[in-house]
């Protein structure tokens, strides 16, 4: 006999187990057994500004080097912070650890990402991301290659961070 499970409950269970599995993998993959990594308060990590990223978005490395290869890191976004349309060379996997975010991929409707939500973006997939105004966001990010940011305009042409931020300010967050 099988028991029907409402979709909402199934998604909560799936996202919780996905979060646990990803955190375990992030902590164990490539870890030095003599120096295991345990991070009990992700929002207290050593966040630093990263060249090429929005000023409201700081990152804290957990494993690897973002600039040279696969890595696991935390990103902290202030309330209302927007990362305008962009893409990465690496596959990007994210888990929201704190706050509520909104993500939109090119051609798709925006998706609200609560705590525990998981998303995977394939290489060069255009997307935009923002932390809602409800409070700061902390997001676990796993990249399978060097993590770069290519800011783009509506047509997909690469532009500077400054241009991307100007366009985002003009567009606002209405509708997403």
Per CATH, domain 7-32+41-171 is 3.30.360.10: no
For residue range 8-59, list pLDDT tens digits in order: 433 433 443 343 333 334 333 444 455 577 878 888 899 999 889 999 999 9
C-alpha dist (Å) from residue 131 to 47, 54, 94, 138, 162 = 16, 12, 13, 9, 19
- Residue 35: the pLDDT is 57
Domain ranges in the chain are 7-32+41-171
Classify 143 as helix, strand or coil: strand
For residue range 109-121, list pLDDT tens digits in order: 999 999 999 999 9
Among 129, 133, 119, smallest CA distance to 151 is for 129
Phi, psi of 115 (to 5 degrees): -55, 135
Whether pTM exceeds 0.85? no
Residue 58: strand pairing partners: 49, 76
Please check the confidence at residue 85 and state whether its pLDDT lies above 60.
yes
Structure tokens at 11: 């998604």
Residue burial 48-82, b: 16+ Cβ < 10 Å; e: rest: eebeebbebbbbbbbbbebeeebbbbbbbbbeebb
């Amino acid at each position: 006999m099988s028991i029907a499970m409402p979709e909402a409950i199934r998604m909560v269970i799936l996202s919780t187990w996905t979060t646990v599995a990803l955190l375990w993998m992030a902590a164990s993959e490539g870890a030095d057994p003599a120096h295991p990594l345990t991070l009990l308060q992700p929002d207290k990590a050593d966040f630093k500004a990263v060249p090429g990223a929005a000023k409201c978005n700081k990152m804290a490395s957990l494993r690897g080097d973002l600039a040279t290869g696969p890595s696991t890191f935390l990103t902290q976004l202030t309330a209302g912070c927007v990362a305008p349309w962009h893409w990465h060379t690496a596959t990007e996997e994210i888990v929201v650890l704190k706050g509520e975010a909104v993500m939109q991929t090119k051609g798709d409707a925006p998706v609200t990402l609560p705590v525990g939500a998981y998303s995977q973006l394939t290489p060069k997939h255009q997307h935009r991301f923002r932390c809602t105004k409800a409070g700061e966001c902390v997001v676990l990010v796993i990249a399978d290659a060097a993590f770069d940011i290519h800011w783009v305009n509506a047509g997909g042409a690469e532009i500077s961070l400054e241009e991307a931020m100007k366009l985002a300010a003009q567009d606002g967050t209405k509708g997403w």
